[in-house]
């Protein structure tokens, strides 16, 4: 094997390994964007699963979010804050009356009826 042929084969092998490693780690570096609709609905479904919403209420909430055109970030904030309030109520930090008052304030802030 001549030195030029050896260098050429090493270069080709390097390119193949480099491309394979780059393709393998790119999903770890740049995670794929998921469909925001699916993410939002799965968050709402989680609230239904923990008995915060009934099926009818879940459908109403999804409809409210889509009809009013809330931005995804605002929707995520509302869901996150709602979850925080629910957890605080579950550990008895809030009474039922305090919880309802705070939920009403949260709903008013985000314009949810």
Judge if 15 and 43 occupy the same domain.
no
Count of C-beta atoms within a 10 Å radius of residue 45: 13
Instruction: Tell me: do 100 and 57 sit in the same domain.
Output: yes
User: CA 46 to CA 83: how far, in whole Å?
Assistant: 10
- Better-scored residue on pLDDT, 81 or 33: 81
Residues 16-68 pLDDT 10s = 999 999 988 888 887 765 444 444 556 777 777 787 777 787 778 777 777 66
Nearest to 87 by CA among 57, 54, 47: 47
Q: Which two tokens stand for residue 41?
A: 């609905």
Residues 44, 6 share a domain:
no
Q: What per-residue confidence (pLDDT) applies to 7?
A: 92
Q: What is the pLDDT of residue 35?
A: 46
Q: Is the pLDDT of residue 81 over 60?
A: yes
Compute CA distances 111 → 8, 59, 92, whole Å: 66, 17, 27
Q: How many domains does the chain have?
A: 2
Q: Which domain holds residue 61?
A: 36-110
Confidence of residue 11 (pLDDT cuts 50, 70, 90): very high
Q: What angle separates helix 72-90 from helix 96-110, to the nearest 10 degrees?
A: 170
Q: Does residue 91 sit in the same domain as residue 64?
A: yes
- Is the domain of 43 the same as that of 72? yes
pLDDT at 28: 82
92-110: pLDDT as tens digits: 888 899 889 988 998 888 8
Q: What angle do CA 105, 79, 87 make, to 5 degrees?
A: 80
62 neighbors 70 (Cβ within 8 angstroms): no
């Amino acid at each position: 094997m001549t030195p030029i042929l050896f260098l050429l084969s090493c270069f080709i092998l390097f390119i193949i390994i480099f491309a394979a490693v780059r393709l393998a780690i790119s999903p770890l570096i740049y995670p794929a964007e998921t469909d925001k609709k699916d993410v939002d609905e799965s968050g709402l479904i989680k609230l239904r699963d923990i008995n915060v919403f009934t099926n009818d209420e879940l459908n109403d909430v999804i409809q409210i979010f889509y009809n009013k055109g809330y931005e995804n970030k605002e929707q995520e904030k509302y869901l996150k804050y709602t979850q925080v309030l629910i957890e605080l109520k579950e550990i008895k930090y809030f009474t039922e009356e305090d919880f309802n008052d705070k939920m009403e304030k949260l709903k008013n802030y985000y314009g949810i009826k």
